[in-house]
Structure 1
């Protein structure tokens, strides 16, 4: 029998074999033994082969309630950090027969729209990075899809599992390094993003610096872009009062903008002002001098996130404990007034 011009369906196979669609499902799903005869099973297989029929595995998975697909939601794709998170998550997922779809939320850290007609039907679970749990309401829906939050407030996760980098320790390492060099007057170039992870950076930095008498810290907010950081840092460094000798940036892109501001003011890094970042992106070693920053293992972060989601799906408790981070000291920091 010649195949039809359109893709054959299980109904076509059933008609060709003279059996019900239920029988076709049993045979092609290899569940026919004891339920249909060997002769009927052979007839179904021959009809499927003659028609060129291939089962729709996605549709079958949907009927079973398991798509083996998870969604990774990120606020943006403006740095390679989130690419690393995806790479790590996808590697673990592939080892367990899952696929990972990457979804940069159109609203950034705000409420994420459901990218499907029904995420509950299309997905087994969600991993969300650097967002609040209530931003995922539209995606999780009434069925409350299993959710793992990365880089998010554990106390505000609405019952979701959380996986975090030890950002607080990273900031402490930065402060300890700069204080040991002798810096006492600081400018914090803070990300202008209302996110838990940036609140942690500000809070821990202020606490660490306040523990040493004679230190001062001013804060300037900037969007996470090189131009935004340039504008904010230049204005802050030009304001009245003693000039800071150390500039602590919430991430490496902000630090790159700060470099440009320092040079436009006729100053030098680190001779006149030390600069630090956080992330250890590729840009950290592309600028001159190379940037002192905190290394975050984005791929390990993604791996742990996927492992946590697998644990939730299997009814297990995810691995506890924050992922360690490491200060990488390069040429952008030196004692104040160093030649």
Structure 2
């Protein structure tokens, strides 16, 4: 005769008797269950001492206690999910941003969903029936709030990465010192003796590229005898190659240095120089920006600016969690680093 539901239920092991609870953790440390909840919910700062918080975490680990996130989220009305909006999924920089955000999110019991914006001129639509019911907050990288569409108007906390800090609608901004990076590039080339420049600028109109153009123009203007021509191109190798080839065929003397807004553009510029029968850096130096894996795959390897993409993601997620807790995220730009490699050298002798 087959077992009935009651028989099968009775045959199951009773794990509830041995599963540790928050009460067990509280009893082991000698604190209240509310204190345990604050510590394991990462809301203890300013309410519980570091010593007590450490003791609670140690006791929870020793007892094998894991908080019931589903039940806690139901009580709090929280999904513990953040949306990361990026211009493209194929760009290595944004992949690194996601890696950093996801690592911090995991430490706090959050998940991160990645959503690519539809295109550079479009407005991101809400990928959910209602973002407010599906998400706790939004992190947007290298975009303007106007491009976020219904996500911006959802009322969710918004953290902007690599975007205009003058936009006061975001809960926090996390920026890289982009201007310093371009000043370092210009200073490096000026120090090598270059005075004729070609700026292969991104055709995407955004805060980060406007800052690069402004910093380059300002630095070069302060050096006597310099000239610079700006040509815009897409952030891809083939369009950048074609645009650079056309620029090199123009009237007047050739530039001795090509400054590119990104490593992908720089790769196209290097191809254009070679197709003209010239060599990098013997005839023309080339610089990039980002320090993607591509930078060391080129020959010669690319002089570029290393951007702390993972740190951007980490700080962005931390800022969102802080904002959700009612705190004020820290300010200050993340530093960049110039990486000189074989694609730059003094200009050729006249």
How far apart are 1:213 and its partner, in Å? 1.0
Q: Which residue of 2 aligns with 1:66?
A: 78
Q: Which residue of 1 aligns with 2:26?
A: none
Cα distance change of structure 1 residues 240 and 91 upon mapping to structure 2, 3 Å threshold: same
The answer to whether structure 1 residue 228 and structure 2 residue 247 are counterparts is no
Partners of 1:304 and 1:98 lie apart in 2 by 14
The answer to whether structure 1 residue 103 and structure 2 residue 115 are counterparts is yes
How far apart are 1:63 and its partner, in Å? 7.0
1:323 to 313, 331, 334: 334
Contact 1:75–1:109 under 8 Å retained in 2: no
Cα distance change of structure 1 residues 189 and 269 upon mapping to structure 2, 3 Å threshold: same
Contact 1:127–1:148 under 8 Å retained in 2: yes
Q: Say which SS state the counterpart of residue 129 (structure 2) adopts.
A: coil
- Mapping for residues 127-142 of structure 1, pairs under 5 Å: 127-142=139-154
The Cα RMSD (Å) is 2.2
Contact 1:70–1:100 under 8 Å retained in 2: yes
- Mapping for residues 118-197 of structure 1, pairs under 5 Å: 118-142=130-154, 144-197=155-208
Contact 1:293–1:328 under 8 Å retained in 2: yes
Q: Which moved more, 1:62-71 or 1:311-320?
A: 62-71
How far apart are 1:80 and its partner, in Å? 1.1
**Residues paired across the two proteins, number:** 289
1:237 to 233, 239, 248: 248
- Mapping for residues 259-338 of structure 1, pairs under 5 Å: 259-337=270-348
Cα distance change of structure 1 residues 160 and 60 upon mapping to structure 2, 3 Å threshold: closer
Q: Say which SS state the counterpart of residue 197 (structure 2) adopts.
A: strand
Partners of 2:157 and 2:335 lie apart in 1 by 25
Q: Which residue of 1 aligns with 2:103?
A: 91
How far apart are 1:192 and its partner, in Å? 0.4
How far apart are 1:109 and its partner, in Å? 6.1
Partners of 1:171 and 1:66 lie apart in 2 by 41
How far apart are 1:60 and its partner, in Å? 8.0
1:212 to 223, 248, 261: 223
Cα distance change of structure 1 residues 126 and 82 upon mapping to structure 2, 3 Å threshold: same
TM-score by length of 1: 0.81
Q: Say which SS state the counterpart of residue 166 (structure 2) adopts.
A: helix
Q: Say which SS state the counterpart of residue 254 (structure 1) adopts.
A: helix
TM-score by length of 2: 0.79
